[in-house]
Amino acid sequence: RAKKRGRDRYEFFTQALQAEIVETKKLADDILRGMENHEFEAFYQPQFDARSRDIVGVEALVRWRHPTLGLLAPDRFMRVAEELNVVTAIDRLVLEQGLRDHAAWREAGLVIPKLSVNVSARRLHDEELIAQLGGMDIAPGVVAFELVESIFLDEEDEVAMANIEAIKRLGIDIEIDDFGTGYASIVSLMKLQPARLKIDRQFIAPILDSTRQRKLVRSIVDIGASLGIGIVAEGVETMDHAKALQRMGCDVLQGYAFARPMTAETLAGFARGQQWRVAPAARSGEHPK
């Protein structure tokens, strides 16, 4: 009996595993088809000055306009895209669309100071990255690359380090994304001299309920202040969070409390509306409480 049960279980697992492999293979084929069909698109989530509440930038976030499944967020396809190595193509596509949209906004009289894009580990290790970037029309100081901490676990990682230096020379900022969730040492992160740290939303959510969590955020803000690194809070879901984060000294706020990721066109309309909503006092540097 025990033997039979063991065998049943074994068959259950192999079947489940097989089903998963089939699903993954289907998704992989679908991603490649979708790429050829231009179904991937950049959405934009605005980022706000914590005090004036002016829009200081946007983060480009990829979406998949799937013909039958509708609009898909990265959690539905990024893992497989990474396995397939399609993630480098996605990163490139998002940057290229971002630059096009950014130029179009400017043509239309809308100045968005910063365009942030997420850069995968694979892309950071791409030997062609720098040559590619050199061929793009990137004005210095406009673009930021968001890199997650796990990219920097290996301090001997010479390709990544050389690319980062070259990226900076092109006038592109480096930001550490999801700060606090990885295991890279503070020392190795600070060696990069990032322009900004983005505190992960898991540290932001509990700040209203916990003194400890507030102290944690405040100590990150202190690190930023003493090293001249800007602090961005991501996942700011309520205006109470926004107020608390402003008081704690965060520079930039991003989250559902202000806006969700949206299409390029919607972003343009949103930013216009936002500009005339900004109080004159806030513009001249007096910060409303």
Q: What string marks each residue from 21 to 60 as x (binds ligand C2E by CB under 6 A) or -? A: ------------------------x---------------
Identify the sign of the CA torsion 131, 136, 141, 144: negative
List residues bridging with 198 in a β-sheet.
Answer: 232
Distance of CA 274 to the CA centre of its chain: 22
- Please say which residue, 144 or 221, places its beta carbon nearer to ligand C2E: 144
CA contacts within 13 A on the Cβ side of 107: 6
How far is Cα 237 from Cα 226, in angstroms, rounded to an integer?
A: 27
177 contributes a contact to ligand C2E by CB under 6 A: yes
175 contributes a contact to Mg ion by CB under 5 A: no
How far is Cα 81 from Cα 89, in angstroms, rounded to an integer?
A: 9
Q: Which stretch binds Mg ion (CB under 5 A): 137-145, 172-180, 211-219, 271-279?
A: 172-180
270 contributes a contact to ligand C2E by CB under 6 A: no
* Given 61, 142, 160, 197, the residue binding ligand C2E (CB under 6 A): 61
255 touches, from ligand C2E, Mg ion, none (C-beta below 5 to 8 Å by class): ligand C2E
**Nearest distance from residue 55's CB to ligand C2E, in Å?**
15
* Given 87, 124, 244, 245, the residue binding ligand C2E (CB under 6 A): 87
- Residues near 34 by Cβ (< 8 Å), separated by ≥ 6? 40, 64, 66
Secondary structure (DSSP) of 127-161: TTHHHHHHTS---TTTEEEEEEGGGGS-TT-HHHH
* Given 50, 261, 267, 268, the residue binding ligand C2E (CB under 6 A): 261
Contact 260, 45 (CB under 8 A): yes
Contact 175, 143 (CB under 8 A): no
74 contributes a contact to ligand C2E by CB under 6 A: yes
* Given 34, 46, 224, 255, the residue binding ligand C2E (CB under 6 A): 255
- Which residues sit at the interface with Mg ion, rule CB under 5 A? 118, 146, 177-178, 234
- Which residues sit at the interface with ligand C2E, rule CB under 6 A? 45, 61-62, 73-75, 78, 87, 90-91, 94, 118, 120, 146, 177-178, 201, 234-237, 255-256, 261
